Structure 1
């Protein structure tokens, strides 16, 4: 087969097109063995070469073979497993700590009393009686507070509000991470105080 040949592949149901030279770039890899003619490769009903792996991960393999591009940190672990499987040691990417965990640690250092506030929220959760609820942070001495009180929208649902009387946006971020572990997810975030932006609220959905 000529190196410039266009190759259609079916990777776990995802249809991709590349060149033979890309797939055989590293002669000692499994891909080179598969597409050099040394080993038979199964084809799907449309004649595409079939590779039985996740196409969304395999596309990072192709990007590396084409451009030398390493995968993003959040996909590094998955791509490393494929690099091992296909014999592409050149692709092995450093696996960094989960980005959210890194941010969580940074935020927590800036709010040393966070644990007591998290315990307060957990106690308040027992009193909620709606699918949705809000957590609001605001500075009680703000002279714009009356106008800022509209941060919670008027609607037909029963409104549950957990209030904190100081302005710490970081608190909302930390709570969002911990609430997600309880199957409670961020619905949207509001920041309305017209004078200084001191008041923010985040709406959460249970389940």
Structure 2
């Protein structure tokens, strides 16, 4: 797991519902949508938090995910809400990571955005964990989007190859190939980042 999860999520489903209602022009009964938001908010928030490691980013990703899902649901039918929402949350979180590391690269500032895990480990252990998560997030931000999605769904969300294939509408063998490529890309990126930090 890339980041430790807090006990509660700070995303208020009512906020998402209000934003969804005010941001759409078509007014349709929102009863089903309210149930979908309430049911899947924990899943979406956890997915975003595991990747971003940041409460504010996870909350923003959660709201953006539901707004995007609302647009998709009005344009076309949704067969698998969990799959669609997990995919959208992963994409939003990866976009935030990429944006964050582009900004860091431009300013060459040291980032302190990674959340520290809960518990009572010593300060050295906390610093090492934080640095490792930061390096993994930086490397993941450099991996092509489809590979990063497959990697996150398999290694972070722990989905099976079949579940990933169903969610991304692709062959399970393609999922395996993308996962292999993602791991190779991550290995290269992590090696380069590690060399950079040792200098």
TM-score, with normalisation over the residues of structure 1?
Answer: 0.23
Structure of greater relative contact order (alpha carbons < 8 Å, 6+ residues apart)? 2
Q: Which structure features the higher share of strand residues?
A: 1
Bigger Rg, structure 1 or 2: 1
